[in-house]
Amino acid sequence: MKNRYMNPYIAGTILGLVLLAAMVVAGRGLGASGGLKYCIVSAVGAVDRSHAENSAYYSKYFENGQKPLKNWLSLEIFGVLAGGFISGAISKRLGFRIEKSPRITNTRRLIFAFLGGAFFVYGAQLARGCTSGAALSGMAVLSLGGFVTMAVIFGSAYIFAYFFRKLWI
């Protein structure tokens, strides 16, 4: 069987249970962009500690002996990576490959993937959080903003899909 994936209804239910567990245990919802920020701040502190402690931006993450990697968001990122690896190993889908349309080159696919990721991270920093965290966590607590965010995510995806369809079809 080629490309065996989990049933989306079961996967969605499991995601909902993980979100519920995060709310109960940590008192917070799910989100990824903050975890990446804490990992980068920690790396900057490891490379040049004096710069991190004297920088107006980085120093707040090291106040009172705090360690950015001990933040729950950093632990969430490591859990996502471990979970993805375990899932890939169980389903025998570990390996490096570039999924793309046969009409574009690997280089073009990687450039557009990098640009999309860069825009996502930049937007997440402007909004002080990632869209998926805002939508999932917001909808979980029945926030109107969460529902609006989800509608805008899917609406803009349909609009932009028309313009970028040649990268996939």
Tens-place pLDDT, residues 51-110: 888 888 888 888 887 788 777 777 888 888 898 899 888 888 888 888 888 888 899 989
Determine phi and psi for 29, rounding to 5 degrees. Answer: -90, -165
- The answer to whether residue 84 sits within a structural domain is no
Helix, strand, coil fractions of the chain, as percent rounded to 5: 75, 0, 25
Q: Residue 8: inside a domain, yes or no?
A: no
Specify the pTM: 0.64
- Domains of the chain: total: 1
On whether residue 36 sits in a domain, the answer given is no
Residue 1 has a pLDDT of 47
Q: Lowest-pLDDT range, 3-12, 26-35, 90-99?
A: 26-35
In the predicted model, what is the mean pLDDT of the chain? Answer: 82
Q: Does 49 fall in a domain? A: no
| Domain residue limits at 143 | 98-169
| Residue with the larger pLDDT of the pair 34 and 139 | 139
Do the beta carbons of residue 38 and residue 138 sit within 8 Å?
Answer: no
Report the run of H or E that residue 63 belongs to, with start and end. none
From the list 137, 163, 151, 159, the residue with the least C-alpha distance to 27 is 137
The residue among 8 and 33 whose pLDDT is bigger is 8
| Residue of 168 and 149 predicted with greater confidence | 149
pLDDT of residue 110: 92
Query: Tell me, what's the pLDDT at 163?
Result: 83
CB burial of residue 19 (10 Å; 0-12, 13-18, 19+): middle
